[in-house]
Amino acid sequence: MAAVTVRQAYRFALDPSPAQERALWSHAGAARFAWNWGLAKCKERHAAEGKWYGAGDLHKLWNAAKKADPGLAWWDQNSKCCYQEAFRDLDRALSEFIKSKKGKRKGKRHGFPKFKKRRKCKDSFRVTIGPMRCSGHIVTLPRLGAIRTHESTRKLARRIGNGTARILSATVSRTAQRWFVSFTVETERLIPDTHARPGSLIGIDLGVKTLLTGVDDQGNVVAVAGPKPLKASLRKLRRVGRAHSRKTRGSANRRKSAAKLARIHARIANLRADAVQKATTALAARYETIVAEDLNVAAMTRNRNLARVVADQGFGTVRRMLGYKTIWNGGRLIVADRWYPSSKTCSGCGTVKAKLALAERTYRCDDCGLVLDRDVNAAINLRNLAASGSERLNACGGTVRPGTAGHVLLNQVPGTAHAGKTGTAAGQPVADAPVFTYAATAMHPVDGSCGAGDRVRWNATSRTGSSAV
């Protein structure tokens, strides 16, 4: 076992009293006001001098203005961290805008920061100084005091009590009329030197029909169906959305309908996150090496025929979670090149098709006559890629903040295996392979039609699976 220091977030739903809820609204409003105040000052200076204020400069200006302006006499009703962190967020947003403008920032182009409007932006604030504790069903925050939580905080409290975790900051936010607190914690994790099942290997293919399809080194096919919560709730969303559009703007009924619509969206997001968490946890605990694709999710969502189902499956989240969960279990994640033709390549003879339409769900090889499910064929190719040594390993940079002496600091999504290592598992035949399906049903064997093996269902509501693998 090797102890490494990582940064994790522990999120709890709050159960505030009416007075505490008013205080939460006040703190969120103070953070929004500080953002708008700082942005206005930055625009004024840029118009005159061609440059902006930094977070430290804005804080000095704020300290001078809050004492001189009688209209800002209310500032001491909230924690000073609300204003400081808002200025830091603004400074970070301006820096990202400059990087994006110069082409130094990857991903979607970052626009110029905008003013925040009440009920049009996310209500949140962050505190970094003062008492931040948790015990039982109680969390303690600066200026807010002790607030009840819906679930127990004993897991985090136990780590803090043992001295293996330290709270760095607390971010309070509102989602669908419910307040949450997220503690950013620097904690020690024991990373095993070897995986519980050394040598185990699986290649996974993310798809639109199923969340992921995998084939392991024993030839077993693992399929995670995925709940597709957006598709299941689409009819209800349309009905509630039409009713919301008919409400008079600014009325109480419109606010009620907006709250109902927000609760539906929150439930969809929670169902998706729950399914992805359980699937990635089960895979990382069961297989030492996982080979996945490097999908261009942003480009896929620009396709009007694929955007909804791709967003509903959460491809990017699957890849991100596998990146750190494999390391936490002593394994590794291997990422295939983005242009590797896993779906077009025949897993039997290696012939690559020139074209393969997305509607063709069965792969048929014209050379060797192989007929196989499209996703299974891609998963086999990805699994075999680990043995070829032509894959690359995903890497994440470490955090720039100093850590505890004697420990290795990783970023919030801890890095994966070091570059230069390659897979050693050889490819396996998949003829008559048993299929293992993750499904949100009770675990029981049923008859299968994919070879001579049995099809076994995996209970997606549990983190443990059948021992038949």
Active site amino acids: 205, 293, 375
Strands 332-335, 289-292: pairing kind: parallel
Distance CA 288, CA 199 (A): 6
Q: 136: which residues sit within 8 A by CB, 6+ positions away?
A: 152, 153, 154, 157
Asked whether the beta carbons of 294 and 204 are under 8 A apart, the reply is no
Distance CA 232, CA 230 (A): 5
- Burial bucket for residue 290 (CB in 10 Å: 0-12, 13-18, 19+): buried
* Cα three-residue angle 17-19-24, rounded to 5 degrees: 90
Beta pairing partners, 411: none
H-helix or E-strand spanning residue 23: helix 18-49
Nearest CA-CA partner of 104 in 94, 115, 112, 96: 96
The three-state (H, E, C) secondary structure of 115-161, written as one string: CCCCCCCCCEEEECCCCCEEECCEEEECCCEEEEECCCCHHHHHHHH
Helix pair angle (55-68, 18-49), 10° resolution: 110
H-helix or E-strand spanning residue 99: helix 80-101
Concatenating the DSSP letter of every residue in 357-368 gives -TT--EEE-TTT
